[in-house]
């Protein structure tokens, strides 16, 4: 969430940033937000004046009673009753206006970093890095959903029977490979200095608002109405909310966390050939990295996260590219996002497998996540997160790119984790 003072003092910068996002009705929303803030501050000023007058009258009444001027004291007492009633009304008006302002602020997305390219959709994203040779497959090569059936390692029909479409069942070597990837990702992350945490898979409403899933992605989250809890769409939500309402010391930076969780997304409206098999699921496994950083270091940290994910894909020997997302394709909360995509030779398309983002102070403002700077003043921290990695499309890429006439050859780095070299 943007700070209202920043919006008020940097209106043109905010509008320029929202224009890069192609955000509709930006000027109307910004003007309405500024107006609500002016009204809130005016009410606060009036309330402060009344409270100050009321305090003064209370002292005057005390002095009058001491000097025996009870008649004058009684007159002032009647006036304090009137002021009390007025302050009560103003306090209620102030709370209502503050709530209105908060709801408006929730609607405004983050301002993109200046290096974010202009654009409207994924077609306008900027390819900033590409590595790895795209393999030439044998003539009978298959997409991963056919390989899954051929080797009986993932059962999409059984998952559909148990739950519904988008909930696959991993079997035999498929389940072992899935577990191997999770353990490998966690080991890589912890070796790089990320502390592993295990977190709840359900979060409350405050956590959803804290990281920006609410109200922006409310329709994409599974919701338990009885307890008002949400199944997590990513470990980013519970891990980052560890630091909600926390004041850090400057020397605690950087804070680096990693977590494995299943993730749940309704993906309403998703259908078609591009979502076959593992390409898009309602439940999937993901290992996440989260960083809490000093504002001066957050972009160096973002570069470090990007390089870390690169190192994993290099060890898996998968062809990949890194995209800097354009303004029109960025997430609501992000200031700068890099997407990683693996090339699926069998599908002849790029598959997104990771997003690494810097949110600057946007989440921290919602979370009330601050630190004491060298002068002893409170500042908002910067938050970052990335997939390291999301399993479904990594697994799809491995199955398709590593297939041979003899079977699917497991990358060397995973063999110690899964205990076999070939799926056949």
Give the annotated binding-site residues: 234, 265-267, 288, 352-355, 385
Per-residue confidence (pLDDT) for residue 269, from 0 to 100: 53
If asked whether residues 45 and 161 sit together in one domain, one would say no
Token reading at 45: 């000023």
Q: Is residue 17 part of a domain?
A: yes
Per-residue confidence (pLDDT) for residue 270, from 0 to 100: 53
C-alpha 164/C-alpha 157 separation (Å) is 9
If asked whether residues 204 and 350 sit together in one domain, one would say yes
- Strand partners of residue 264: 283
CATH number at residue 82: 1.10.287
If asked whether residues 391 and 245 sit together in one domain, one would say yes
* Nearest residue to 177 (alpha-carbon basis) of 355, 396, 401: 396
Q: Is residue 111 part of a domain?
A: no
Q: Is residue 112 part of a domain?
A: no
Q: How many other CB atoms are there within 10 angstroms of residue 336's CB atom?
A: 22
* Nearest residue to 207 (alpha-carbon basis) of 236, 231, 234, 238: 238
Last residue of a domain, one of 106, 137, 152: 106
* Total domains in the fold of the chain: 2
If asked whether residues 23 and 160 sit together in one domain, one would say no
- Give the list of residues 6+ apart from residue 383 with CB closer than 8 angstroms, or none: 240, 290, 291, 292, 293, 359, 362, 363, 364, 367, 369
If asked whether residues 87 and 138 sit together in one domain, one would say no
C-alpha 369/C-alpha 29 separation (Å) is 26
Angle at 400 between CA 289 and CA 283, to 5 degrees: 45
If asked whether residues 177 and 302 sit together in one domain, one would say yes
Q: Whole-model pTM? A: 0.93
C-alpha 164/C-alpha 161 separation (Å) is 6
- Structural domain harbouring 220: 122-423
Per-residue confidence (pLDDT) for residue 66, from 0 to 100: 86
Handedness of CA 209, 215, 219, 225 (dihedral sign): positive
Per-residue confidence (pLDDT) for residue 73, from 0 to 100: 83
Per-residue confidence (pLDDT) for residue 119, from 0 to 100: 97
C-alpha 218/C-alpha 117 separation (Å) is 28
Q: Is residue 117 part of a domain?
A: no
Give the annotated binding-site residues for ATP: 265-267, 352-355
* Nearest residue to 282 (alpha-carbon basis) of 233, 244, 329, 214: 233
Last residue of a domain, one of 75, 106, 137: 106
| DSSP code at position 273 | G
If asked whether residues 148 and 181 sit together in one domain, one would say yes
If asked whether residues 96 and 138 sit together in one domain, one would say no
Give the annotated binding-site residues for L-serine: 234, 265, 288, 385
If asked whether residues 211 and 66 sit together in one domain, one would say no
Positions in the chain short of pLDDT 50: none
If asked whether residues 128 and 267 sit together in one domain, one would say yes
Q: How many other CB atoms are there within 10 angstroms of residue 28's CB atom?
A: 9
If asked whether residues 372 and 269 sit together in one domain, one would say yes
If asked whether residues 101 and 133 sit together in one domain, one would say no
Q: Is residue 116 part of a domain?
A: no
Q: Is residue 48 part of a domain?
A: yes
Last residue of a domain, one of 36, 71, 106: 106
Whether the Cβ atoms of residue 388 and residue 258 lie closer than 8 Å to each other? yes
CATH number at residue 184: 3.30.930.10
Phi and psi, residue 325, nearest 5°: -70, 140
């Amino acid at each position: 969430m943007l700070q209202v003072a920043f919006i008020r003092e940097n209106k043109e910068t905010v509008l320029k940033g929202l224009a890069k996002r192609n955000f509709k009705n930006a000027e109307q929303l910004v003007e309405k937000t500024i107006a609500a803030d002016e009204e809130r501050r005016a009410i606060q000023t009036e309330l402060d004046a009344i409270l100050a007058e009321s305090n003064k009258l209370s002292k005057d009444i005390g002095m009058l009673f001491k000097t025996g001027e009870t008649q004058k004291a009684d007159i002032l007492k009647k006036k304090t009753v009137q002021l009390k009633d007025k302050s009560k009304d103003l306090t209620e008006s102030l709370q209502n206006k503050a709530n209105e302002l908060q709801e408006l602020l929730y609607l405004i997305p983050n301002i993109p970093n200046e290096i974010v390219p202009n654009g409207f959709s994924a077609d306008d994203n900027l390819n900033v890095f590409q590595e790895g040779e795209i393999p030439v497959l044998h003539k009978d090569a298959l997409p991963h959903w056919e390989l899954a059936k051929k080797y009986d390692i993932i059962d999409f029909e059984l998952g559909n029977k148990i739950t519904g479409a988008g909930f696959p069942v991993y079997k035999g070597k498929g389940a072992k490979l899935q577990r191997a990837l999770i353990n490998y990702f966690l080991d890589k992350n912890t070796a790089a200095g990320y502390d592993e945490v295990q977190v709840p898979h359900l979060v409350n409403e405050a956590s959803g608002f804290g990281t920006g899933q609410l109200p922006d992605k409310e329709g994409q989250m599974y919701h338990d109405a009885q307890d008002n809890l949400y199944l997590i769409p990513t470990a980013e939500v519970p891990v980052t909310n560890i630091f909600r309402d926390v004041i850090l010391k400057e020397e605690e930076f950087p804070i680096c966390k990693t977590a494995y969780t299943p993730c749940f997304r309704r993906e309403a409206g998703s259908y078609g050939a591009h979502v076959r098999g593992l390409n898009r699921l309602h439940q999937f496994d993901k290992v996440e990295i989260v960083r809490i950083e000093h504002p001066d270091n957050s972009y160096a940290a973002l570069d470090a996260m990007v390089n870390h994910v690169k190192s994993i894909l290099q060890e898996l020997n998968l062809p990949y590219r890194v995209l800097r997302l354009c303004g029109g394709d960025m997430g609501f909360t992000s200031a700068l996002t890099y997407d990683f995509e693996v090339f699926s030779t069998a599908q002849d398309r790029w598959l997104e497998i990771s997003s690494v983002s810097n949110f600057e102070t946007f989440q921290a403002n919602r979370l009330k996540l601050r630190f004491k700077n060298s002068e002893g003043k409170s500042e908002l921290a910067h938050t970052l997160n990335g997939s390291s990695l999301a399993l479904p499309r990594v697994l799809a890429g491995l199955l398709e790119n590593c297939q041979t006439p003899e079977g699917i050859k497991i990358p060397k780095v995973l063999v110690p984790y899964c205990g076999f070299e070939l799926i056949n």
